[in-house]
Amino acid sequence: MQETISALATPSGVGALAVIRISGSGALSIADKIFRGVNRPSASGERKVLLGRIVGGDEEVIDEVLLTVFRNPRSYTGEDLVEICGHGGTLVASRVLASALAAGSRMARAGEFTERAFLNGKLDLTQAEAVMDLISAQTPRAARAAALQLEGTLGSEIRILREELLQCVAHLEAYIDFPEEGIDPESGIVLRKRMEAITDHIQRLLATAGEGILLREGITLALCGAPNAGKSSLMNRLLGTERSIVNATPGTTRDTIEAGASLGGYPFRIIDTAGLRETEDPVEQEGVRRARKAAQDADLRIHLVDASTTGASVQPLFEDELLLLNKIDLIGNAVPYSPTRGLGISCKTGEGIEELVQVIIQKVTGQSESEATTHGAAISVRHRDCLERALAALREAIRLLATEQPPEILAVELRCSLAAVGEIVGDAGTEEILGKIFSSFCIGK
């Protein structure tokens, strides 16, 4: 039997309300011990809210609260669950929690409520992960994607994929039962087509990884270039505030300056850097060193040049940079985008900035904003790793089929593929995988 766990479910600090959760088979009897009201929690019906007081061991009143009873299995965790909603003071909330612990529960680990919800079949693993994605979403778009995943969009995609793989395994098993017969050519063609269709399906899901990772983790963007190119002006344009000092004197920015921003609904971390040039000034030298380091660590490097002073070709700073020609307001005609000539923008007039955001999103997700799949699944790094393993095994099965290997060997590869796909929704949730996922949660969730 699972131990009964308790935790503060709201942030610790001063607020209007604080919620303490108790989950497990002992939740109702613990609530009986610490709650005084007209009705006893254990005698109350499902999803009933009781008004009363929480008391300590010596019957001292700790807080006046509303207590909600959820009975197994109709609760978040699938177990008996009690939520105590009290006054949001740091001390009072921790005293209510202490009372629940003293009455026979133990402190919950990070993510343990959601882990129990998963183990009790209330959520699949992708939905459990979506709970945390939703809590940590930094932009409305990220929140929308997490809410969809919580509803089960990714989970149902994965179940379809599993069904398709299972059909192939069943197809092969028919042959394994009759080993004297090899796979007849006609059947082999059907099987190959099926496996190829699954390959396409996996690849379609893998193509959402760029967007999924961007939504969950954001992207760090470093703004680099010669002094006076307009890096700080671009930083301010993208942020919509005057965060960085802009001045006509070259060498204005000396340290790296970081800020979070939402571009096209995606979370970004933007780093303004010191202009790159040879200098004798030790402070500026350190600034240049930091600029290079920031560029190296960033996910995407923007190389900004002053279009009014640059020649026909620009020497790249980094191999994979995104080149921008700033100050096009000074040169009349807009400069068309090309990998060598760069995208023309003006931080002064705002020209080209919207297009720049589109180009950045395209570059990091591999999709344009309008193609982005926020209405469907957008997978995470963990999902991508599982799908890549599934794809490799499937490709091996296709290769084995082409070389007329026995069906048993093909079936082994298909089962590998199936296991990797199942790992996404937590079919065979090993302790190690679950530990890794739920430890990133907050306590009380």
Question: Would you give the end-to-end CA distance of the chain in angstroms?
Answer: 21
Q: Which of the listed partners (Mg ion, ligand GTP, none) does 330 bind, with a CB threshold of 5 to 8 Å by partner kind?
A: ligand GTP
Tokens standing for 138?
A: 């930094």
Our CB check for ligand GTP shows the closer of 329 and 355 to be: 329
Closest separation in Å from C-beta 272 to Mg ion: 6
Closest separation in Å from C-beta 252 to ligand GTP: 4
**Candidates 114-122, 127-135, 202-210, 241-249 — which segment interacts with ligand GTP by CB under 6 A?**
241-249
Q: Among 4, 44, 253, 417, indicate the residue that binds Mg ion (CB under 5 A).
A: 253
**Beta carbons of 374 and 148 less than 8 angstroms apart:** yes
**Beta carbons of 399 and 391 less than 8 angstroms apart:** no
Q: Which of the listed partners (ligand GTP, Mg ion, none) does 216 bind, with a CB threshold of 5 to 8 Å by partner kind?
A: none
Distance, CA of 233 to CA of 330 (rounded, Å): 15
**Candidates 113-121, 196-204, 246-254, 422-430 — which segment interacts with ligand GTP by CB under 6 A?**
246-254
The conformation of residue 372, written as its DSSP 8-state character, comes to -
Q: How many residues make contact with Mg ion (CB under 5 A)?
A: 4
Closest separation in Å from C-beta 283 to ligand GTP: 13
Nearest to 423 by CA among 435, 412, 434: 434
Cα torsion angle, 375, 381, 384, 386, sign: negative
Q: In what order do the strands lie in the sheet with 343-344?
A: 257-263, 266-272, 219-225, 300-306, 322-326, 343-344
Our CB check for Mg ion shows the closer of 116 and 231 to be: 231
DSSP string, 235-266: HHHHHTS--S---SSTT---S-EEEEEEETTE
Q: Which of the listed partners (Mg ion, ligand GTP, none) does 373 bind, with a CB threshold of 5 to 8 Å by partner kind?
A: none
Produce one character per residue of 333-355: b if its CB has 16 or more CB atoms within 10 Å, e if not.
ebbebeeebbbbbbbeeeebeee
Q: Which of the listed partners (Mg ion, ligand GTP, none) does 327 bind, with a CB threshold of 5 to 8 Å by partner kind?
A: ligand GTP
Q: How many residues make contact with ligand GTP (CB under 6 A)?
A: 23
By the rule CB under 6 A, 230 interacts with ligand GTP: yes
Residue in the structure block whose two tokens are 């298909």: 414
Tokens standing for 303?
A: 């190389």
Q: Among 90, 167, 247, 309, indicate the residue that binds ligand GTP (CB under 6 A).
A: 247
Closest separation in Å from C-beta 275 to ligand GTP: 3
DSSP string, 106-171: EEPPBTHHHHHHHHTTSS-HHHHHHHHHHHH--SHHHHHHHHHHHHTHHHHHHHHHHHHHHHHHHH
**Candidates 54-62, 176-184, 192-200, 247-255 — which segment interacts with ligand GTP by CB under 6 A?**
247-255
Q: Show the binding pattern over residues 26-65: x = contacts ligand GTP (CB under 6 A), - = does not.
A: ----------------------------------------
Q: Which of the listed partners (ligand GTP, Mg ion, none) does 106 bind, with a CB threshold of 5 to 8 Å by partner kind?
A: none
By the rule CB under 6 A, 346 interacts with ligand GTP: yes
**Candidates 58-66, 224-232, 354-362, 365-373 — which segment interacts with Mg ion by CB under 5 A?**
224-232
Q: Among 347, 378, 401, 437, indicate the residue that binds ligand GTP (CB under 6 A).
A: 347
Q: Which of the listed partners (ligand GTP, Mg ion, none) does 279 bind, with a CB threshold of 5 to 8 Å by partner kind?
A: none
Tokens standing for 30?
A: 């613990």
**Beta carbons of 216 and 380 less than 8 angstroms apart:** yes
Of residues 322-351, those binding Mg ion (CB under 5 A): none
CA distances from 106 to 10, 23, 431, 439 (A): 18, 10, 20, 17
Our CB check for ligand GTP shows the closer of 116 and 237 to be: 237
Of residues 402-421, those binding ligand GTP (CB under 6 A): none
Our CB check for ligand GTP shows the closer of 351 and 396 to be: 351
Nearest to 437 by CA among 381, 388, 378: 381
Of residues 284-343, those binding ligand GTP (CB under 6 A): 326-327, 329-330
**Beta carbons of 201 and 168 less than 8 angstroms apart:** no
Closest separation in Å from C-beta 361 to Mg ion: 24
Distance, CA of 333 to CA of 50 (rounded, Å): 71
Nearest to 136 by CA among 442, 366, 375: 442
Closest separation in Å from C-beta 262 to ligand GTP: 21
Q: Which of the listed partners (ligand GTP, Mg ion, none) does 91 bind, with a CB threshold of 5 to 8 Å by partner kind?
A: none
* Binding footprint of Mg ion on the chain (CB under 5 A): 231-232, 252-253
* Binding footprint of ligand GTP on the chain (CB under 6 A): 227-233, 246-248, 250-253, 274-275, 326-327, 329-330, 346-348
